[in-house]
């Protein structure tokens, strides 16, 4: 098992990823969770989605899986998710879920869900380069591909 710079065994580590067969198209999301020696894999998908929605859904599912408030680090290869939840969301909320062009924020339903869930935990968001040999990211990617509805693979 690879080392993950976990400060202690009470912190949850989550690797999340999304995948689409066409964009838009059938999509899948995957999550690999670790806490100490415990690990869990989650995956699912939708018949019609986008890669960005699946990336977000993976982070949502990681947080939804926690049974109590936790300290968690979420690793994602999606700049959209990382920048969206750590930087852009503040302006969107302040502007009534409108972007800088005064248009509705794309995927506002998922951003609102992700925002509510993250506020129940102590979350650190960490970008990781995708498809670069990172074991956690590769595992989450495989789970996301597994989540794409079978008739579309």
Average pLDDT score, the chain? 93
In a domain, 62, yes or no: yes
Residue 151 pLDDT greater than 80, yes or no: no
3-class state of residue 57 by DSSP: helix
Residue 70 pLDDT greater than 80, yes or no: yes
7-62 pLDDT, tens per residue?
456 899 999 999 999 999 999 999 999 999 999 999 999 999 999 999 999 999 99
Confidence bin at 116 (pLDDT 50/70/90): very high
Question: Domain of 130: which CATH number?
Answer: 3.30.420.10
Give me Rg for the CA atoms of the chain: 15
Residue 3 pLDDT greater than 50, yes or no: no
The span from the CA of 12 to the CA of 114, in Å, is 17
- Give the chain's domain count: 1
At residue 2, the pLDDT reads 41
How many other C-beta atoms lie within 10 A of the C-beta of residue 80? 16
Q: What is the token pair recorded at 63?
A: 């947080």
In a domain, 2, yes or no: no
In a domain, 47, yes or no: yes
In a domain, 7, yes or no: no
At residue 4, the pLDDT reads 44
Q: Does the bond joining 70 to the residue before it have cis omega, within 30 degrees of 0?
A: no
> Would you please indicate which residues are annotated as catalytic (active-site) residues?
17-18, 55, 77, 131, 141
Q: Summarize the confidence of residues 107-117 as an average pLDDT.
A: 98
The span from the CA of 144 to the CA of 48, in Å, is 14
Q: Summarize the confidence of residues 72-82 as an average pLDDT.
A: 98
The span from the CA of 125 to the CA of 56, in Å, is 13
In a domain, 77, yes or no: yes
In this prediction the pTM is 0.92
Where in the sequence is the domain holding 148, given as residue range(s)? 12-152
The span from the CA of 115 to the CA of 62, in Å, is 13
Residue 127 pLDDT greater than 90, yes or no: yes
In a domain, 4, yes or no: no
Residue 91 pLDDT greater than 90, yes or no: yes
């Amino acid at each position: 098992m690879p080392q993950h710079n976990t400060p202690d065994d009470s912190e949850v580590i989550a690797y999340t990823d999304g995948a689409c067969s066409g964009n838009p198209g059938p999509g899948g999301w995957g999550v690999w969770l670790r806490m100490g020696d415990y690990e869990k894999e989650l995956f699912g998908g939708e018949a019609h989605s986008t890669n960005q929605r699946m990336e977000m859904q993976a982070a949502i599912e990681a947080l939804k899986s926690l049974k109590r408030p936790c300290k968690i680090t979420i690793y994602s290869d999606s700049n959209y998710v990382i920048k969206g939840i750590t930087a852009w969301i503040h302006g969107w909320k302040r502007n009534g879920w409108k972007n800088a062009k005064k248009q509705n924020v794309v995927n506002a339903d998922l951003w609102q869900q992700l925002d509510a869930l993250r506020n129940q935990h102590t979350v650190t968001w960490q970008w990781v380069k995708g498809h670069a040999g990172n074991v956690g990211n590769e595992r989450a990617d495989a789970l996301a591909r597994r989540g794409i509805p079978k008739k579309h693979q």
